[in-house]
Structure 1
Amino acid sequence: MMTLNNGNEVDHDVEYDRWGRMKYHPEYHPNQRAPWTTTDQKYLIENYEKSSAMDVSLALGRTIRTVMQRVYELRLKGLMQKRSPKKIKSEVQHDDVKA
């Protein structure tokens, strides 16, 4: 059982790809094929580095893959900063400490 942003609870089979990302599901991803709005794009830019990709994808009603593709496009256009090598390195080291 999962509660969506609109407060509705859904209990459906969810499939995941080989990387553990949730595949398209109409109840979790109602905006999947809708054009990106300025508000959605602004939310993505402001929250992608602060939250998990899963949280952002559910908040926007899109799959993780779609969100990651949009991040890639925004970074190419210079509208979103690329992750710094220092941040990536610290995340890798932090994960090693957990293991």
Structure 2
Amino acid sequence: MAHEIKYNKRGRMEYNPDFHARQDQPWTKEDDDYLMYFYKYDGLKMLSYALEKTEAAICARYHKLKARGYKSKWLK
């Protein structure tokens, strides 16, 4: 059964199990590499679908990794 899609006041989709099946799973190195490489190309919405996590989680993880100086293995 499809769940209703709700958006927060910023226009970001809230948690929906149909789209965010991996929301409660830990981030992997592959997830981090994908996120850091494609963030500037795809944006939050597409990364949310690709990584199956909410846009808020994507944004928070990106800024955390960026502050640490994380570099995607794909950028080497």
Normalising by the smaller structure, the TM-score range is 0.7 to 0.9
Cα RMSD (Å)? 1.3
Matches within 5 A, 1:3-14: 11-14=2-5
| Alignment match of 2:53 (pick from 56, 62, 67) | 62
> Which sections of structure 1, spanning at least 5 residues, go unmatched?
1-9, 81-99
Larger strand proportion, structure 1 or 2? 1
How many residue pairs match? The answer is 71
> Which sections of structure 2, spanning at least 5 residues, go unmatched?
72-76
Identity %: 32
- Conserved? CA contact 2:2–2:18, under 8 Å: no
Spell out structure 1 runs of 4+ moving beyond 3 A.
none
Distance 2:43 2:37 in 1: 12
AA of the residue aligned to 2:67: L
Larger helix proportion, structure 1 or 2? 2
Deviations 1:39-76 (A, max 9, x none): 11111011000012100011000000000000110011
Distance 1:11 1:24 in 2: 13
TM-score by length of 2: 0.86
Computing the radius of gyration over CA atoms, which structure comes out larger, 1 or 2? Answer: 1
